[in-house]
Amino acid sequence: MLKLLAKVKKTRRLDSFRGEDGLLRSRVHCYVAIRSAARSTMKLPKGLKGKSVRVLRTYIHPWEIKPGDLIVLDTNESRAAVKKHVRTSVGKRAEVGFGSKNVTVGDFNSDGLKEYAIENAFLRSIISPDYGARILELWNLGTDKNELYGGNSYEPGGYIEIGGVEESLSRIGSPGDLWNASYKKRDVAGSDLGFEHNLKKKEGLKEVKSFFVLPDAPVFCQLSTFEYKPKKPKKKKGKIPETELEYVPRIFFAIGGKADHTNLFFIPTDERLVRSRYNAFPWWTRWGGGIWLWKKMWHAVKPGFVLLGNEMTNECMAVFVNPKELSYVWVGNDRWTPRLFLAHHPRKMKAKRSVDYGLAFSLGVGYDVTKNSLLMLSKGRKVKGGIPYAVIYRSLFKAGPRRAVFTFDGEIKTVELKKERMKGAGNIYYSSLLLEAEPGMVSVEIKTSKERLRASWRKNETTV
């Protein structure tokens, strides 16, 4: 949620008192006119500039608040100002049945700007076209928690971390080229939602972003396509210049809805499965080492996924990528916010060519992971006919399994697995089913000639 910058027009004193420290204070009503967003890189909703609101402030004598002073409204005051003066359609959750999906438009986070929601029975994604067409929120509907996180920290020069999933091209201009740019809606074949943006710092370079969700599984995909069409040089012998891309998506996350020490990450490498945790507060960190150390780590990815989990609830989010395109994976606690960087190899682009970068997410309530494979169990929200469950499987081994075995309170059910090719992010196997009543325990097992994986979930396990 944005914070607003306002100019004081007049004040009305309510009372004066001495605090516990003995200093004299006064409470005043400030009548202010909104000027802009508190940070220059954030956008002000249309129709809000110059509007008047009343806020309550307390100041210490002799630092009196006077007409002409500038003050920053907090998130609650800013939200109230947007609600009062900006006409926006409130974003509402759609009633999506099992095996279907839906796209809705509205102001889902009460910031006065329009967002898009894509959802099925398992997940709900909020996309903001005014902030880089980024995935702003990703809700696990089985637990009703947002697994992405807003950074809420500031960079020199006025940049604010909005959070979610943001993109960077490190060699092209300022971060605002992609992170905070306004994208225009456009139709993209084979997708549920699409946007485009012409980069200002690099002539002829355009990004087209498209989003797609599977109707019967908790899988959400993002495809970023860069098109390069520069103008021809004036000289006859002049060559059309090439350009180089260094694509780095940054993912801010808080599995289970909290960015604390219960957040875990699993990164498979050639040698082993790397496992570590995060801490939310500096005084919890043992700087001498141990499992409580909040680490910054660089890794090469082998099977093309990173698993982010929660120790207390077994909630999880998998990020699928193409391992051949990745240079390294960075995971750490920069500014005490859990975050994941996926740095791709530099790629040269010729004129009239395009380059694709794929990214896919899957949400679950249970998991089993090795350095070669990942098995996830997912649960959806209650829909007409019952409660949906799904299994997601990703492996380094080429020969994929054909079946998975579900167990519901002792009852066994075998399901056939489907194969889905996600452009730029590889293949996964999945299957889903609908149960009339919620069982006390659910487990799923996949057995191959190479390994055996099992994930489970118990009722009330995903509530901390």
| CATH numbers and ranges of domains, the chain | 4-85 (no CATH), 102-362 (2.70.98.10), 368-458 (2.60.40.380)
Paired sense of beta strands 403-408 and 411-416, if any: antiparallel
Q: Can you list the pairs that 101-106 forms with residues at least 24 positions away whose Cβ atoms lie under 8 Å?
A: 101/192, 101/213, 101/214, 101/215, 103/192, 103/193
Beta carbons of 374 and 363 less than 8 angstroms apart: no
Helix, strand, or coil (residue 176):
helix
Beta bridge partner(s), residue 28:
13, 57
| 312-313-314-317 Cα dihedral, nearest 10 degrees | -110
pLDDT tens, position by position, for the chain (464 residues)? Answer: 678 899 999 999 999 998 888 889 999 999 999 998 877 667 788 888 899 999 999 999 888 999 999 999 887 888 888 888 887 767 676 778 888 899 999 888 877 888 999 999 999 999 999 889 999 999 999 999 999 987 666 665 556 678 899 898 875 555 667 887 889 999 999 899 999 999 887 888 999 999 999 999 999 999 999 999 988 777 666 677 888 888 999 999 989 888 777 888 888 888 888 887 775 444 444 434 444 445 567 777 777 899 999 888 889 999 999 888 888 888 876 666 788 889 999 999 888 889 999 999 999 999 999 988 999 999 999 998 899 999 999 988 877 788 999 999 889 999 999 999 888 888 899 999 999 888 999 999 999 888 899 999 998 765 44
- Bond prior to 62 in cis (omega within 30° of 0): yes
pTM metric for this prediction? 0.85
CB pairs under 8 A, 24+ apart, for 193-198?
A: 193/103, 193/116, 193/118, 193/127, 195/129, 195/133, 197/132, 197/133
d(CA 98, CA 383): 7
Contact at 8 Å (CB) between 402 and 414? no
Residues 6+ apart with CB under 8 A from 6: 32, 33, 34, 35, 53, 55, 70, 71, 72, 73
Distance of CA 315 to the CA centre of its chain: 16
Tokens 């207390």 -> residue:
312
- The whole-angstrom separation of Cα 209 and Cα 195 is 5
Contacts (Cβ under 8 Å, ≥6 apart) of 287: 293
Separation CA 241–CA 244 (nearest Å):
10
Tokens 């060519």 label which residue? 353
